[in-house]
Amino acid sequence: MSSGRIFSNLMKELSEGKFVFTGELEPGKEGDIESTVEAARKLLGHVTACNVTDNPQSFGYVDSLTAAYVVQTKTGMECICQLRCADKNRLALLSDVLAAGVLGIKNVLAITGDYVSLGDAKGAKPVFDLDATLLTYMIRKVVDEGKDLQGNPIRNPPKLHVGVAANPGSAFLDMEVYKLKRKVKAGAEFVQTQVVFSTEVIDRFFNKVKEVGVNIPILIGIFPAKSYAEAKFFHENVPGVKVPEDYLNKLKEAKEIKDKEKKKERIDQINIEFFTKLLEHLKGTPAAGCHIMAVGYSEIIPQLKKVVK
């Protein structure tokens, strides 16, 4: 950590060398996030913290900061608030960083964000005043020096940690890892990666990370799909993510099961079998933990965690 101080349970466990699990919450296009709060309650005791998404794929949803505050207040679940550059300039992002401190948020994830044309507001103007690296630098400057990017002083600066994203399956892995190194130099303290389905992709990523000298906790992202449609969407639409054909075919076969309970049991079995092997492999790598993106599928997490106890 840049500051040498620990403010959150997430960073405490990472600094102690524990294999850390984080979860994911996705507030939607709604005026009430009770379903998100309930999802957080189900994850209590199973994950150390939850990443709260902010306009994923550039769809206009409840913002991460508000949702993270409500979740923490109502459930006690520690949150990782996403800050994305696609929608906000440096003034708005600074305001969010300061607000995070006021609201008791201790972890933020600095991301550049998807281009706005991917989402459901085609006329929206993209911002991208900063990218994830400059946002990371700004946050560390605020926290460590009590100053904004222009050097203006900040009274009682917030106490929080900043993480960043990486994509192990990127078609341009050298560039991806050098971008990660740049983010670490800017002050990143932990990494949560895009979804990975392949042990080969994991090993190639960590070999490259070691080669360029990146040395901060990395949590590898996994995605247990609760339906064939979800897995197929990731395979066809998420850059750098390739879902194995065998896994897809098994989910496709399960789709044809008429009995809902039997279908769910089969999907659970498919995920447990597949991700048990992946997690067993992950424990033998430098990974600091696993970021489980199981939105709406929280019941699978306790079963997967048994693998790494």
Distance (Å, whole) CA 281 – CA 277: 6
How many other C-beta atoms are found inside a 10 Å radius of the C-beta of residue 93? 24
Query: For residue 4, what pLDDT is reported?
Result: 62
Residue type, 116: V
DSSP assigned state of 284: T
Which neighbouring-strand residues pair with 108?
A: 81, 162
Residue type, 298: S
Query: For residue 122, what pLDDT is reported?
Result: 84
Query: For residue 308, what pLDDT is reported?
Result: 66
Query: For residue 32, what pLDDT is reported?
Result: 93
1 to 31, 140, 157, 185, 248: CA distances (angstroms): 37, 10, 17, 11, 39
Query: For residue 1, what pLDDT is reported?
Result: 44
Among residues 263, 243, 244, 261, the alpha carbon closest in space to that of 253 is found at 263
Residue type, 80: I
Distance (Å, whole) CA 186 – CA 161: 13
Q: How far apart are the first and last CA of the chain?
A: 26
Query: For residue 115, what pLDDT is reported?
Result: 85
Per-residue pLDDT of the chain (309 residues; tens, 9 = 90+): 444 689 999 999 999 999 999 999 999 999 999 999 999 999 999 999 999 999 988 888 999 999 999 999 999 999 999 999 999 999 999 999 999 999 999 999 999 998 888 888 888 999 999 999 999 999 999 999 999 999 999 999 999 999 999 999 999 999 999 999 999 999 999 999 999 999 999 999 999 999 999 999 999 999 999 999 999 988 888 888 899 999 999 999 999 999 999 999 999 999 999 999 999 999 999 999 999 998 888 888 888 887 666
SS3 216: coil
Decide yes or no: CATH 3.30.450.40 for domain 9-226+286-308.
no
Q: Could you tell me the pTM of the whole model? A: 0.94
Distance (Å, whole) CA 80 – CA 21: 13
Residues 39/300, Cβ–Cβ less than 8 Å: no
The C-alpha angle with vertex 142 and arms to 139 and 147, in degrees rounded to 5, equals 140
The domain spans of the chain are 9-226+286-308
Distance (Å, whole) CA 85 – CA 136: 11
Query: For residue 116, what pLDDT is reported?
Result: 85
Query: For residue 187, what pLDDT is reported?
Result: 97
Angle between helix 260-282 and 199-212 (nearest 10): 30
